[in-house]
Structures are given as structure tokens and as C-alpha cells.
């Protein structure tokens, strides 16, 4: 009887399948084999990742055994600890002069840069001239304080930006050897906007090669050291910028982000960084130039030590697009809905989130409940497990864009990545190993375009974006890890190449996200979390950033860390 029942059900199933297309039937018939193969592939990838993790821990553990922290010089000038908005107010009201402020930061840069190697080109003399002009305007009394606050809100305040963003008269190498002699002949849009707001460009900072890796090191300027521990990375590609800000070498700065290049460095250096909603801030004047859909993934945004500087700086960078946002809206964080995710779903090539970072996230959840009676809801987004292939598929789908290997050749042909790898082994290549490996990855990604999974991944990205958008609505924020570990050792990212996915998936989904510091780990390295909001709801994640700063103390001065 049981056998006849099973047979009957099978006949019904066969009849049902015949009503579908033959391709669908074939797909369903192959599903058990496909699932079995996927399990084996998953297991193999996990084994590879675990092997690389064991090797990296052994190698770098021995290399940096008994690592000593290079203590940064102490802060003796309290001007260095002021927020950018506070400095602007004091300069406007003649409590400080712009000249003494600029001199203070120049002196700090000269003090810390031999240790950190974060600043790669400067305009100190011109910055001092600009400062004297600002002081002269204020002293003249021709413009009252209220008007200055509206028209030039950062008059006399120095700022910095990454080497890939053009500052007239300074080198713009983007970390690429072939660009080492290139000097910008005009300002990028965001730099021009800052000048119009009265701010004074002071220097440019180190990046990764072509801004496409998450450690700021290149063959032009070398590598940048973490201000909390010199054997650790600063992140990339805005790593030099985040390092300088954290070390009190600049009051605020500008970064750019196509896969986490603002948020990862901000996380590793214990400061705030905001990735804006896509399309709000101009990318004009950056290298490499984003084309096609990549223009949406790449965003430019503010970086600073204090959350109070984020909105004023963002408002300037957004220019006329600020009207699309609600930056002046007062946000009651008690009226927001909170969601959180522990990890990206357990993808085989991604390092699991560390216990300390999970604990830090849980402290945020606990704070919301104890302080405001808010219960954050833990959610699972199954599509996040495919975040890495989704990101590569979206990048690979950008039409008519120069390849990475062509960009490495300054778009004058293409480098032979295999030959350059041999030259790298012989120590005669002008490219970094991560840059060359990215070239190899690009070729593999091009092969993947022919796979039947490629269009499926693009569809998954759209579905994931829609799912998050509907989840957050107009009053929701998502607490999401910025990275699975605290700042790794120098070169260790090569053994953990795909850990950037926590930030990268937010880029292709086009959501705004604010990186928030949450104190220090047991070994004295910054902890943090990113707060994601819905499109154009940047004010919500920025408001939560301010709350977390109050609750957990925000940036910790590396000069004061034992």
C-alpha cells in the first residue's frame, strides 16, 4: 500500500513537471547533484580559509611576537583636541586665530608623520597664507559673525584629504607608481566646496594602490602604520586619512568609498566615517575615475573624530543635493526601529566575527534597551551569504569601464599581470602584490560572467536591496559589523582577502552607512560598528552615531593609550 501511494505521488509530480518548460525540468532534475556539489565546494573553501588563517596567525604571531607599541608623542597643545566646528566658532569669534590653529596642526604632522607615514604631500606655506587671509577678513569686520557662520562655516579651519582626490598643486598619485610625478592642476569638486566654505586644505594622505585594497601601502610612498599599534594596518583606501585624523594631525577630512574605503579605515583607526547615500556627493576630480554603474557604488564622504562634525561637513560636500536629505531634522532615537545582524551569514571565505566585536555589538543592543526601553530585533538576511559573489558580479557588470590591469597601466594598454607577478617575486615590480592579485581576480571574474550564475547574482542584489529597503522603511536602522576582526597586522589581509565584504555589500545596495567607534579591544585596538539607514535617510544613522558616542565615549586618543 505504501509503495502504491509513493508511486501515485510520483506520477502526479511527473505530470506537474511536464507542464513546465524542459529547461526548468532539467534544472529540477539536476538540483540534488548541484546541492551535493555545492556542499563539497563550500567545505573545500572553508578548509582553504581555515588553512590560510592558521598560517597567517602562525607567521604573523612569530613575526610580531612581543610586539611593542610605538607610543605617539603626547598632546601638549589642546587646540589639537578641538572639534572642527568648535575651532570654526573660536576662529570666527576671535578666541583663536586661524594662523595659530594651522600652525598647531602642521607641528603635529611633523611630529607624527615619521612614525605613521600617513601624509604624502603638503602645502604648509600656502595653508599659512590662507590662514592669514582668513584672519584678516575676520579682523576687518566687513562681514559679521552670523553671516560668516552661514556663508563660510569653516572659515580658517584646516582639513586634509586622500591622495586620490585632487588638491591643486599637490601630487595625485592614487598610490600608482606610474602617476608618481602627476600634480593636480585643479581642485576636485569636494575640495573646491570646502574652500568656498572657508576651510583650508593642508595636505594629502596615503592610499592603497589605485585605491582598490584595504591596506594603505604602495610602491610610491610605502605603507602607513596604525596610530594605536604600528605593526597593524590602517585600512584602505582612505587609510592615511583616517590615521592622520585619529592621531590629531587634522581636525577633519574627506574620504571616498567603493567597497568600504571610508568605513574600514575609520573602524581600524577608531574615528567616525560616513558613506553617504549614492549620488549625493560629487566624485569629480578623483582617480581612478568611476564609470557607468560604478559611479553609484563610489561615494565621497566625511571623516572626523567627533560625531558633531559629520553633519556640518556632509552638508558642505552635498552642496545643492543636501535638499534631498533631512540633515536639519531633529531625530528622536527613541522613535526609531532597530535591527541587527551578527554576521554576513557564514560564507566560507569570510572570517567569522570575533567574540569581542560581537560583544561590542551586544553592548549597543543592551544600551538601547536599558536606556530607552528599545528592543532591537535580530534578523537574518539569507542572501547575505552570497554578498561576496554579488559584489564581484556588480563590479563585473559595469559596462565600458577600463579593466583594473588597464588602470594599472594608466589606460595606455594593459599590464601583463603574470609577468609582473614574476617581477614582484624578483623585487623589481613597481606594483604591490595585492594590486597584482586583484588583476588576477579580475580575470577570473571576467570568466565568471559566462556562468549561468552571473545574472542570478545581479537579481539577488536587487532582491536584497529591496528586502533591506522594505525592512528599514523611513524609521529603521540596521546595526551591522564593520569588519570581522580588529585591525590585522601589516600584510595579513592577503590571507583574509575577502573580509571587506561587510562594507562592500552596502555599496552595491547604495545605502548610507555611518561607522561608529565603540572603545578599544583587550589589546588596545579600536572596536566599532556601522549603522545603516535607508536611501536618503542619512540623518538617522548620523543621529544614532551621536547617541553611541555619548554612550560609549567615541574616539580614544591614541597618544593616551598605555
CA pair distance 176, 207, nearest whole angstrom: 9
Cell 544613522 found at? 541
Q: What CATH number corresponds to the domain at position 498?
A: 3.90.1300.10
Asked if residue 73 is part of any domain, the answer here is no
Asked if residue 95 is part of any domain, the answer here is yes
Element (H, E) at 518: strand 513-520
If we measure between CA atoms, which residue out of 267, 228, 272, 223 comes closest to residue 247? 228
| Furthest-apart CA atoms within the chain: distance in Å | 102
**Tens-digit pLDDT string for the chain (562 aa):** 334 443 444 344 344 333 333 333 333 334 555 566 778 888 888 999 999 999 998 999 888 876 666 789 999 999 999 999 999 999 999 999 999 999 999 999 999 999 999 999 999 999 999 999 999 999 999 999 999 999 999 999 999 999 999 999 999 999 999 999 999 999 999 999 999 999 999 999 999 999 999 999 999 999 999 999 999 999 999 999 999 999 999 999 999 999 999 999 999 999 999 999 999 999 999 999 998 889 999 999 999 999 999 999 999 999 999 999 999 999 999 999 999 999 888 899 999 999 999 999 999 999 999 999 999 999 999 999 999 999 999 998 888 789 999 999 999 999 999 999 999 999 999 999 999 999 998 888 766 666 778 899 999 999 999 999 999 999 999 999 999 999 999 999 999 999 999 999 999 999 999 999 999 999 999 999 999 999 999 999 999 999 999 999 999 999 998 7
Whether residue 268 contacts residue 503, with contact meaning beta carbons closer than 8 Å, is answered with no
Asked if residue 372 is part of any domain, the answer here is yes
DSSP string over 370-439: HHH---PEE---GGGGGHHHHHHHHHHT-TTPPPHHHHHTTTSS---HHHHHHHHHTT--SS-HHHHHHH
Helix, strand, or coil here: 530? strand
Asked if residue 218 is part of any domain, the answer here is yes
Asked if residue 268 is part of any domain, the answer here is yes
DSSP string over 11-65: HHHHHHHHTS-HHHHHHHHHHHHHHHHHHHHHHHHHHHHHHHHHHHHHHHHHHTT
Domain of 213, in residue numbers: 90-387+453-560
Give the chain's domain count: 1
Q: Which of 261, 278, 482, 521 is catalytic?
A: 261
CA pair distance 384, 276, nearest whole angstrom: 21
Asked if residue 77 is part of any domain, the answer here is no
CA pair distance 534, 330, nearest whole angstrom: 17
Cell 599581470 found at? 417
Q: Which of 237, 250, 541, 559 is catalytic?
A: 237
Cell 525540468 found at? 25
Active site includes 326?
Answer: no
Q: Which of 152, 162, 168, 308 is catalytic?
A: 162
DSSP string over 207-243: --GGG-SSS-EETTTEEPPPSS-TTB---SSSHHHHH
Active site includes 230?
Answer: no
Q: Global pTM?
A: 0.92
If we measure between CA atoms, which residue out of 423, 402, 424 comes closest to residue 413? 402
In this structure, how many other beta carbons lie within 10 angstroms of the beta carbon of residue 185? Answer: 9
Asked if residue 75 is part of any domain, the answer here is no
Active site includes 250?
Answer: no
Helix, strand, or coil here: 332? coil
Asked if residue 109 is part of any domain, the answer here is yes
Cell of 235: 585600512
Amino acid at each position: 500500500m505504501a509503495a502504491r501511494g509513493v508511486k501515485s505521488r510520483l506520477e502526479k509530480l511527473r505530470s506537474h513537471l511536464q507542464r513546465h518548460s524542459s529547461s526548468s525540468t532539467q534544472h529540477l532534475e539536476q538540483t540534488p547533484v548541484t546541492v551535493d556539489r555545492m556542499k563539497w565546494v563550500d567545505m573545500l573553501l572553508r578548509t582553504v580559509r581555515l588553512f590560510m588563517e592558521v598560517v597567517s596567525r602562525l607567521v604573523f604571531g612569530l613575526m610580531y611576537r612581543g610586539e611593542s607599541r610605538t607610543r605617539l608623542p603626547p598632546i601638549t597643545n589642546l587646540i589639537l583636541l578641538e572639534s572642527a566646528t568648535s575651532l570654526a566658532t573660536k576662529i570666527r569669534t576671535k578666541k583663536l586665530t586661524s594662523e595659530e590653529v594651522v600652525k598647531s596642526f602642521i607641528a603635529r604632522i611633523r611630529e607624527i608623520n615619521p612614525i605613521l607615514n600617513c601624509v604624502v604631500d603638503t602645502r604648509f606655506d600656502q595653508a599659512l597664507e590662507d590662514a592669514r587671509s582668513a584672519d584678516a577678513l575676520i579682523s576687518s569686520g566687513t562681514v559679521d559673525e552670523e553671516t560668516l557662520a552661514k556663508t563660510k562655516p569653516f572659515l580658517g579651519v584646516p582639513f586634509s584629504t586622500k591622495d586620490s582626490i585632487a588638491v591643486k598643486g599637490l601630487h595625485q598619485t592614487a598610490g600608482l607608481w606610474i602617476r608618481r610625478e602627476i600634480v593636480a592642476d585643479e581642485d576636485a569638486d569636494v575640495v573646491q566646496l570646502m574652500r568656498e566654505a572657508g576651510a583650508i586644505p593642508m595636505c594629502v594622505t596615503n592610499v592603497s594602490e589605485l585605491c582598490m585594497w584595504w591596506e594603505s601601502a604602495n610602491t610610491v610612498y610605502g605603507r602607513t602604520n596604525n596610530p594605536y599599534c604600528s605593526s597593524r594596518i590602517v585600512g584602505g583606501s582612505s587609510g592615511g586619512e583616517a590615521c592622520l585624523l585619529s592621531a590629531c594631525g587634522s581636525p577633519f577630512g574627506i574620504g571616498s568609498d567603493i567597497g568600504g574605503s571610508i568605513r574600514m579605515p575609520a573602524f581600524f583607526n577608531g574615528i567616525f566615517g560616513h558613506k553617504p547615500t549614492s549620488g549625493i556627493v560629487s566624485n569629480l576630480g578623483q582617480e581612478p575615475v568611476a564609470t557607468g554603474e560604478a559611479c553609484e557604488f563610489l561615494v565621497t564622504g566625511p571623516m572626523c573624530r567627533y560625531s558633531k562634525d559629520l553633519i556640518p561637513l556632509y552638508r558642505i560636500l552635498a552642496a545643492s543635493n543636501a535638499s534631498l536629505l533631512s540633515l536639519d531634522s531633529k531625530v528622536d532615537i527613541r522613535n526609531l526601529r532597530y535591527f541587527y545582524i551578527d554576521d554576513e551569514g557564514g560564507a566560507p571565505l569570510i572570517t567569522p566575527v570575533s567574540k569581542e566585536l560581537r560583544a561590542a555589538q551586544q553592548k549597543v543592543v543592551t544600551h538601547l534597551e536599558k536606556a530607552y526601553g528599545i528592543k532591537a530585533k535580530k534578523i537574518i538576511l539569507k542572501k547575505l551569504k552570497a554578498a561576496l559573489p554579488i559584489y564581484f558580479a556588480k563590479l563585473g557588470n559595469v559596462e565600458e569601464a577600463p579593466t583594473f590591469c588597464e588602470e594599472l597601466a594608466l589606460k595606455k594598454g594593459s599590464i601583463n599581470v603574470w609577468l609582473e607577478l614574476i617581477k614582484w617575486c624578483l623585487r623589481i615590480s613597481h606594483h604591490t602584490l595585492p594590486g597584482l592579485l586583484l588583476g588576477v581576480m579580475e580575470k577570473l571574474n571576467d570568466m565568471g560572467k559566462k556562468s549561468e550564475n552571473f545574472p542570478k547574482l545581479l537579481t539577488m542584489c536587487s532582491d536584497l536591496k529591496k528586502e533591506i529597503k522594505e525592512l528599514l522603511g523611513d524609521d529603521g536602522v540596521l546595526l551591522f559589523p564593520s569588519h570581522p576582526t580588529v585591525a590585522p597586522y601589516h600584510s595579513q589581509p592577503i590571507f583574509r582577502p575577502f573580509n571587506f565584504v561587510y562594507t562592500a555589500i552596502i555599496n552595491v545596495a547604495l545605502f548610507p552607512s555611518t561607522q561608529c567607534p565603540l572603545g578599544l579591544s583587550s589589546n588596545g585596538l579600536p572596536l566599532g560598528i556601522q549603522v545603516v539607514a535607508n536611501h536618503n535617510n542619512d540623518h538617522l544613522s548620523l543621529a544614532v552615531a551621536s547617541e553611541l558616542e555619548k554612550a560609549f565615549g567615541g574616539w580614544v586618543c591614541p597618544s593616551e593609550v598605555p
